[in-house]
Amino acid sequence: MKATSNQLLINPHHLAFLLSVMVAIMPFSTDIYLSSVPEMASSLHAPIDQIERSLASFMFGVALGQLFGGAISDIKGRKVIAMIGLSVYLLSAIAIVFIDSADELLFWRWIQAIGGGMATVTVGATVRDFFHGNEAAKMFATIGIITLAAPLAAPMLGTALAALGGWRVIFIFLLLYALIVLLCVWRFMPQVKMDIQPLDSQVFHKIKQNFSMVFHEREALGFMFFQTAAFAAMFVFLTESSFLYMNIYGLSPHEYSWAFGANVITMMLFNRITAYRLRTTPARHILLSGVLLQLGCNLLLTIVVWSMNRPPFFLLLGLIMFSIGSQGLIGSNTQACFMSYFRKIGGSANAVLGTMQFLIAATVGWLTTLLHNGSTHVMPTMMLISTSCGAILLWALSRTAWQKKHR
């Protein structure tokens, strides 16, 4: 199952674009309908908190889809699992268009997320199949740059689609998007020759064995835990940002979109820096700068908020921009470092990484809502705790990686 970039049947840049539009399903699915939550609550005759719960339902579904999709892709192949996942996602989107209750929304969003998770987990494994070391990190960085356009555009696109014909039009867009991606995967996604096996008890034993191998690779786990912690810190921001920006600082929905977009632009800038520095610098060293940047910003943010209670908005915004933007120095590099330990079980490794990322983020986000007390203190404190825990685990488990000349 080993391959190199010169074995690709398509241009690596084309592959990066194909994998990017697959990954973009996730931010489109979570961000595009947030502005329509009140309308959905009214239309489905449900309390607004029940509609908001569909985001958590989606996150847990993604975790489950990635867990099984990644493991099975090591056995059945990346392309077939991606196509199955996209088909499940598409059919679920059709069902959501015709729902009549919030319970149906929660159920079909969960099923939709399982399909989306199955499809997107194959992205990291596909990169690992064809690229190694800094070359893999460059590919992850390129995918990240393209993918970041989705969360930047999703809130405004969702508002425009809802204005055209209500919230159901948003899910019509998602099913059409999934259909286009499915056709592109069927036509253009390259395959690595694999020993296809039937899904019997022996295969499931092999899946269990692969997962066990991932959790026994101590040095790799530090990279995994920091990525999940950094993602959790960002999810805390997503959970609390509308309250903080709109309720505390009085931003309008339009101003909120611009403030939200500033984080994405900063992330894109750091992602571009990552791609440039990977020409001469190992991924783990670029990652270290991202760790220090996010930890420093979250620490300063917490100190400023606790000492001033309501600091000047532009000071708050600047610290948040660099904290969230540091994901551009973290995401592709942690993924490349983590995946470098698993040449033969890339799908299982990526499944563990994705599952842990979404489960921990969903749990931390849920805990943040329980601690919500109407103050400015909860968000920066939870962001700092998340990043600090990740940095401690990275140091404890993976510090020897920086002592090696090459990985």
Residue boundaries of the structural domains of the chain: 1-196, 217-401
* Pairwise CA distance, residues 295 & 393, whole Å: 13
The secondary structure of the chain in percent helix, strand, coil, rounded to multiples of 5, reads 85, 0, 15
Q: Tell me: domain 1-196, CATH 1.20.140.90, correct? A: no
Report pTM.
0.73
Q: Which of 10, 29, 294, 30 is nearest to 130 (CA)?
A: 10
CA distances from 343 to 4, 79, 115 (A): 12, 18, 25
CA distance 121 to 73: 9
For residue 212, which amino acid is it?
S
Length of the chain: 407
Query: 1-196 with 217-401: one CATH topology?
Result: yes
Contact assessment for residue 301 and residue 384, using Cβ atoms and an 8 Å cutoff: yes
pLDDT of the residue at 3: 46
Task: Classify residue 60 by burial, with Cβ atoms within 10 Å: 0-12, 13-18, 19+.
Answer: middle
Q: Domain 217-401 maps to which CATH number in 1.10.10.10, 3.40.50.150, 1.20.1250.20, 3.30.43.10?
A: 1.20.1250.20
Chain position carrying tokens 């969003």: 109
Q: What is the pLDDT of residue 190?
A: 80
- Asked if 159 contacts 374 with a C-beta cutoff of 8 angstroms, the reply is no
Cα–Cα distance, 327 to 179 (Å, whole number): 29
Instruction: Give, for all 407 residues of the chain, the pLDDT tens digit.
Output: 444 444 444 567 788 888 888 888 988 888 788 777 778 888 998 876 677 677 777 888 888 888 788 777 777 788 889 999 999 999 999 999 999 998 899 899 999 999 999 998 888 778 877 777 677 777 777 777 667 677 777 877 888 888 888 899 999 999 999 999 999 999 888 876 655 555 555 656 766 777 788 888 888 899 999 999 998 998 888 777 777 887 788 887 677 778 878 888 898 889 888 888 888 888 888 999 999 999 999 999 999 999 998 999 999 999 999 999 999 899 888 988 888 888 777 767 877 887 888 888 878 877 887 787 878 898 999 999 999 999 999 999 988 877 665 44
